[in-house]
Amino acid sequence: MEELNSQSVLLEDDKDGVRLLTLNRPETYNAVNGDLSSNLINALRAASANDAVRVIVLTGSGKGFCSGLDLSTVESMRHGITRHQSLDPLGWVGHLALAIRECDKPVIAAINGIAAGAGMAMALACDLRFMATSAKLTTGYIRRGLSPDAGMSYFLPRLIGWTRASEWILSGRDISSMEAEQVGLVNEVFADGEFMSRVMAYATNLAEHAPIAMTLSKRLLHHAVDADLQTQLREEYQLIQRCFATEDVAEGVRAFLEKRKPNFQGR
């Protein structure tokens, strides 16, 4: 198990190929500051490079998933910014969105409480999203005189459509778990008392699939967002040929013929 240089992100012991990453600033509802952002980016990159990790679950400690940017640090950040940071076209929340999106493993957002602003955008960058019944979402930026960041304006219209995304961003209103499920933003809503056990059970089942096929499938889905059909068909053909060359495909065929569950090894 890799180690982090602070307690702003907690790493649980991996279980059945699932790595749980917990944002750990409960006193701020896990608001994002520079320390949390850099630690989460490092944790995601380490998990992506670790062959023993097949699925990543991202959640928050306490009552919140992530309340967005820690506004109490904005003034000190503004005065303490380095030359390199001032020239960075993405900012650290942008790099956080990329770290989630570019991770080779499926990333599941377990939205246990409020997800606002950059915290909501973080959840949108994940591949799958589950919400606790009492959890809420809000773009939130407009309430503080801000425009979106962290990929909000990229992910949200692609997930729920331009018109609805415009309303959510421009109104900054709260979105219930029921509404989020109705519009297809989250995969499923679980009761508060069984939320994490249900999410982890789903992640464990997902981790039983062939790791190489899951990685290539994730890449295809992301590539398809902006690709034309012919380009996507070529990409599909190239990647499925890579799958056919793996031992996992041979195991999958054997398991089918022998009427048993496959045991994929990621080779």
- At 92 the pLDDT is 63
- At 83 the pLDDT is 45
Per-residue buried b or exposed e for 99-112, using 16+ beta carbons within 10 Å of the residue's own CB? bbbebbbbbbbbbb
Q: In what order do the strands lie in the sheet with 128-132?
A: 9-11, 18-23, 55-60, 107-111, 128-132, 188-190
Rounded distance, CA 110 to CA 241, Å? Answer: 33
The secondary structure element, H or E, covering residue 260 is: none
Q: Are 67 and 28 in contact (CB under 8 A)?
A: yes
Q: What are the sequence ranges of the domains in the chain?
A: 9-206, 211-257
pLDDT digits (tens, 9 = 90+) for 170-183: 999 999 999 999 99
Residue 117 CA: distances (Å) to CA of 60, 139, 145, 169, 182:
15, 5, 12, 10, 21
CATH tag, 9-206: 3.90.226.10
Residue 240 CA: distances (Å) to CA of 111, 223, 237:
33, 15, 5
Domains 9-206 and 211-257 agree in fold: no
Rounded distance, CA 4 to CA 8, Å? Answer: 9
- At 29 the pLDDT is 93
- At 81 the pLDDT is 53
- At 34 the pLDDT is 83
CATH tag, 211-257: 1.10.12.10
Bridge partners, 21 (sequence order) = 11, 58
Residue with tokens 């907690």: 10
- At 82 the pLDDT is 52
Q: Consecutive 10-residue runs of the chain (267 residues): their mean pLDDT?
A: 74 91 94 89 94 96 92 57 50 83 95 95 96 96 88 94 95 96 97 96 95 93 91 92 88 84 83
- At 255 the pLDDT is 82
Q: Are 115 and 150 in contact (CB under 8 A)?
A: no
Residue with tokens 């957002």: 109
pLDDT digits (tens, 9 = 90+) for 247-263: 888 888 888 888 888 88
| Residue 6: both structure tokens together | 């602070």
Average pLDDT, the chain: 89
Rounded distance, CA 246 to CA 210, Å? Answer: 10
